[in-house]
Structure 1
Amino acid sequence: MTAIEIVTAYSIALSKGDIPTAFSHFSPDAKWHQPGKHQFAGTKTGLEAIGKMLGDMMGATQGSLVIEPTGALMSNGNLVSFPVHFSGKIGDKTVDMNGVDLFEVVDKKIVQVWLFSEDQVAEDEFWG
């Protein structure tokens, strides 16, 4: 499988709520770099920490967090760029913006993910 095929398989599983299959595409010691200055920001290492963060984000938004692709995945060697749109609601606060997720794939496993947001200040305010 190519890097794009691996990231695509992860994305499809995640969109179906199939977390075990989604996480099967990650290296056990993967790193997730969540940008910003909010409760979820920082680097999470390992599937347990990444899973807890994603679960806590879904809990905070009462399941309203939606991440959808907005364009073609692009690769440069073992890096895959994934343009996304994300939205969600916490109480009376909403987030609705574009971003880019950058995946690094080594030996057919996702080893790192970096997220980029079009308005990090607004995203920080949303997550608190």
Structure 2
Amino acid sequence: MIEKTPASVAATYFDALSRGDVPTVMNQFDQEVLWHQPGTNRFSGDYRGVEAIGALISGMMEVSDGTFALAATGSYMVNGELVAVPVRFTGKRATGALDLAGVDLLTVRGGKIVAAHLFSEDASAEDAFWGQF
């Protein structure tokens, strides 16, 4: 069996995201994964577990009329079990558009993503796009 390194898990995750392969995306997460969504918008906060993250992503797709997308835009930077990845996330809705750079910081342990911290280049713009509760 090939060992799953933090970089290989991150690569599988972002490749599956780019193809819209939700089952493979979700399979990269540990069942008790902790997801830290930044900002002060309707989706901000901490989410625990695969089901919670699935509901978060579904909500983002609903609010963005199915247009929300995220793609890795640069090299994966690895420091032990941490993988920092520059990303670009986009979406459209009736009230505006989203096109921002960010960084996703994944913690990978035992071949699974156990934590994700997301960073946005413009938190105010992201909050405005997603809206409040």
Aligned to 1:100: 103
> Is 1:117 aligned to residue 120 of structure 2?
yes
In 2, Cα distance between equivalents of 1:112 and 1:55? 19
Q: Show the counterpart of 1:53.
A: 56
Task: Give runs of ≥4 in structure 1 deviating > 6 Å.
Answer: none
2:14–2:71 Cα contact (<8 Å) kept: no
Unaligned runs of at least 5 residues, structure 2: none
Alignment equivalent of 2:85, drawn from 82, 85, 88? 82
Report the AA paired with residue 39 of structure 2.
G
Percent identity, aligned pairs only?
Answer: 45
Q: Which amino acid aligns with 1:78?
A: E
Q: Summarize deviations over 1:21-57 as a string: whole Å, max 9, x none.
A: 1111110000110000000000000000000000110
TM-score, scaled to structure 2: 0.93
Normalised to the residue count of structure 1, the TM-score between the two structures is 0.96
Match of 1:20 in 2: 23
Pairwise CA distance, 1:12: 1.2
RMSD (Å), alpha carbons = 0.9
Structure 1, gaps ≥5 residues long: none
Q: How many residues align?
A: 128
Look up the SS of the partner of 1:98 in the other structure. strand
